[in-house]
Every structure is written in structure tokens, then in C-alpha cells.
Amino acid sequence: MTDLTALSATTLSARIAARELSALEVMEAFLARIRAVNGKVNAIVSMRPEADLLAEARAADQAPRRGWLHGLPMAVKDLAAVQGIRSTSGSPIFADVVPKQDDVLAASLRAAGAILIGKTNTPEFGLGSHTFNPIFGATKNPYDLTRSAGGSSGGAAAALAAHMLPVADGSDMMGSLRNPAAFCNVYGFRPSYGLVPSEPLGDTFLHQLSTNGPMARSVEDIARLLEVMAHPDPRLPHARPAEPFAQDLDRDPKGARIGWLGDWGGAYPMEPGILALCEAALAGFTELGAIVEPVAPPFPAEKIWEAWTTLRSFAIAGSVGPLYADPRTRALLKPEMLWEVERGLALSAMEVHRASVIRSQYFARLAELFTRYDALALPSAQVWPFPIDWRFPETVAGRPMDSYHRWMEVVVPVSLVGLPALALPAGFGAAGLPMGLQLFGPRGADRAILRLGQAYHRATDWPARQPPSF
């Protein structure tokens, strides 16, 4: 008998559309999987009652098809407001909040026919690439339950790896789609900034660091979910036009030029085995006819980090500042959040300006590099999945980290300038733990990056290697 939870979302969607499967059958299969697995992994939280979900699936079977997600179960990352579902942002401040309306992301998923079953776990306010919070605890890595699933989309990545969801949404400021994808042997896609709309609230001009994006066990599922999530919103100044990302996805990568940045000339310390595994993954592109060659760092890593930490603290202080200003809610913020907000509040306007000038210079330098390369590549993480009881790695390859997030510095060259990046599974290390590679291109090259990823997936299909404990 076919295990429905092992099928791609694309296959499930097509079979439901053809009435070869019912939404009820699909819901029953995923609920059974969640009952069997989620108690060990702790990836899905705030689950709705099963009776309600089964009733909604039956109704979907009787209703006109609404879109690609029609009848498919989804759990939304717990940073988004979802009508009728507890939405906490991983913070005790919002522990009991049940929104009365959906935000833009949840509304888009519902409009495409998704049945929203609950939330996926996240760190407090999505801060930090390790998924734990005081409300729900830590999400464990399905490939080793003693290890982190990464973050901040760790709940989404772990749920996909353990086959508790067919497809998932996530978000990415500092690698939050890419790091957990690497740790959990799935795909995560950070789209060009502005392609997937955010909430039209607060500042929508200055802060260009964070975006929502899709996660899946195949690139085709990534592309199809991106089509659901991406739509221009005239209320947002940086909106980009959507494209049929899943159309003509299969393209021969022969002749494509990929530049390998490695450890950025030694600037980013890497635990043993990560660079070699990523280079082996890139050799797969060579076998497909692409041209892969090492590239010198195009910009000083310390300048990128300077700009990033300034603009990140500036953005976080702007959004969380009101909670910090109230002593009652300030007392409930975790130390890393207090550090970010206090740094942000202490910045001068000219310090923020200088950081954005650095960002602008770096963007221009990359534009020159992209005249010679179709894509650039970096590891998705600098460390293997680490023990679940750590807050964060304090050293990497013997080098001390000077902040709670320095160990994820390798994702910043993409995040700082809002480029599209696909996190590809690169395989497994000597200890059996997953790792990943990020492939990125110029703004607007989302479709081209997905096509490269599709060729890679067809040749490798690493997510088919399921967690041994399940």
C-alpha cells in the first residue's frame, strides 16, 4: 500500500484533482503520521482538533477546486497570524493569542485550498537559528533526536523531513529557510526580496532583510508553492512581478557557470567535512554539464558583517521596540532579543546610513560578478546539527563566536542584499548528519535558480533518504 505521506505535494495535488485520492484520505494519512511522530520531534504545535480537520477535508472533497493546495494539510510557521489558531511567535507575551483574521500569508494559502491544521514551531520571534522557546520547547532533528533542527523555520523543516507535512512555508532573515533545510535534508527557498509580500504594516521601505518563502522535499513543490505565495501587492513599494515558476522547470544546465565561494577566503570557519561535502555536491553539477570553478571573495567579510549587524539591529529595534519600552513585556524577552533591541536603539541615523552605503557597494560588486556567473554557491551552514540543549554554538572549528548569531555568518552575503537562494541538500557527513549548499543569483533570477535546483534534484533526490529512526 502506498504511503501517502511519502508522496510529493505535486503528486498529491494532481491525484486529488483527478479524484484518484480524496482530501479525506490525505488528511487521515498525515494525521496518523503526526500522531506517530510529532511527540518525538515537536515540530507541529497548536494543532486543531482532528474532528474539525476531518470535517474540513470532507467538505473540500465536495467543493469546487480552489487551487494547487486544494485539500492539502499545511501548518503555518508560528510567526504568522492565522485566524482561529493560537499564534504565539514563540513568545510568552503572545502565548494565548488567537487571531480573528489571517495575515497575508495565511490568506494566500487558504485561497489556494490549503487546510490549515496548526502551526510549525519557531524560536521566540524567529530570533536565532535554533528552534526552541519557553512555550513549546525545542524542535528535534528527525535524523538525530539529540540534535537541533536549525531555525528559525526548524519546525517546518523537521515536519517535512519526518513526513508530517507535504509542503511548508517558512521565513528567512538570517538563514531561517536555508539553515533548517540543511540540517533536515530538505529544500528551502529564499526568494528575491519583494517577490513574496509581507504585511503592509509599519515601515515597508527601509527594512529589506526578511522574507517569507517555501520549503519542500522537491524543487517542483518549492516552485508550485512559490506560485501560491508570490503575488504583487500594490501597497508594498518593493513588490516584484510573479512568474509561472513551475512551468518549464526542467532545463538542461549544460554550460551554466557556477562560482564556488567556499569559506569566503577563510573568513568563515567551517567544521570539518562541510566544505568537502559541498564540493562533492557541486561536482554533481559538473557531471550535469555545468561549469563550476572557485571564486575569490568579491567583498570583505568584515564589512558585510558590519553592515548586517547594524541594519539587523535597526530593523529589530523598530519592530520589537514597543515591547521593550513596556517593563512588563520587556521582562519576557529573551537575552538575545534584548541585545538586538538595545543595539538598535543606540544607533545614530548616520551609522545606519553608513551600513546601507556598504550594502550598496557590495550589491554593485556582486552585480559585476553575476555578469560572469549564472549562480554563486556557499555552504548553507558552518556547523553540523548541534546538541539540542545548546542555545547556540559558542565556537566554530576552534574559533570563538562573539555573538549569538556569528556562527551563521555564511548566510549573510545573500540576506544583506535580498538575493534569491535555494538551499540544496548536499548529503550526509561521517556522523550521518545532513548538510546543505546554498545556490544564489542576482535579484529576479528566482526561476533560473530553481531550474538549476531541479536538475540537481533529479540527479540526487537526497530527501528520499528518510530519517532512520522513523
Q: What distance in Å separates the CA atoms of residue 452 and residue 46, rounded to the nearest whole number?
A: 36
Considering the candidates 176, 210, 313, 380, report the single residue annotated as catalytic.
176
Q: What distance in Å separates the CA atoms of residue 462 and residue 167, rounded to the nearest whole number?
A: 16
Three-class SS state of 287 = helix
What is the H or E stretch that residue 349 is in? helix 349-369
Considering the candidates 152, 153, 192, 210, report the single residue annotated as catalytic.
152
Asked if 77 is an active-site residue, the reply is: yes
Could you tell me which residues come within 8 angstroms of residue 410 by beta carbon, excluding any fewer than 6 positions away? 175, 263, 264, 268, 378, 379, 380, 381, 382
The 8-class DSSP code of residue 299 comes to: S
Residue type, 138: A
Cβ count within 10 A of residue 348: 8
Are 103 and 56 in contact, with CB atoms under 8 Å apart?
no
Dmax (CA) of the chain: 64
Residue type, 265: G
In the numeric block, the cell 528518510 is attached to: 466
Are 130 and 123 in contact, with CB atoms under 8 Å apart?
yes
Asked if 176 is an active-site residue, the reply is: yes
Q: What distance in Å separates the CA atoms of residue 254 and residue 256, rounded to the nearest whole number?
A: 6
Are 268 and 300 in contact, with CB atoms under 8 Å apart?
no
Q: What distance in Å separates the CA atoms of residue 288 and residue 138, rounded to the nearest whole number?
A: 39
Considering the candidates 77, 119, 140, 334, report the single residue annotated as catalytic.
77
Q: What distance in Å separates the CA atoms of residue 429 and residue 274, rounded to the nearest whole number?
A: 8
Determine the angle formed by the axes of helices 274-287 and 446-460, rounding to 10 degrees.
Answer: 90
In the numeric block, the cell 511522530 is attached to: 37
Are 43 and 76 in contact, with CB atoms under 8 Å apart?
no
Q: What distance in Å separates the CA atoms of residue 212 and residue 188, rounded to the nearest whole number?
A: 11
Kindly provide the residue ranges of all beta strands, DSSP E only, lying in 184-270, ordered along the sequence.
Answer: 187-190, 211-216, 257-260
Nearest alpha carbon to residue 275 among 370, 379, 363, 180? 379
Kindly provide the residue ranges of all beta strands, DSSP E only, lying in 297-383, ordered along the sequence.
Answer: 375-379
Residues annotated catalytic, as ranges: 77, 152, 176
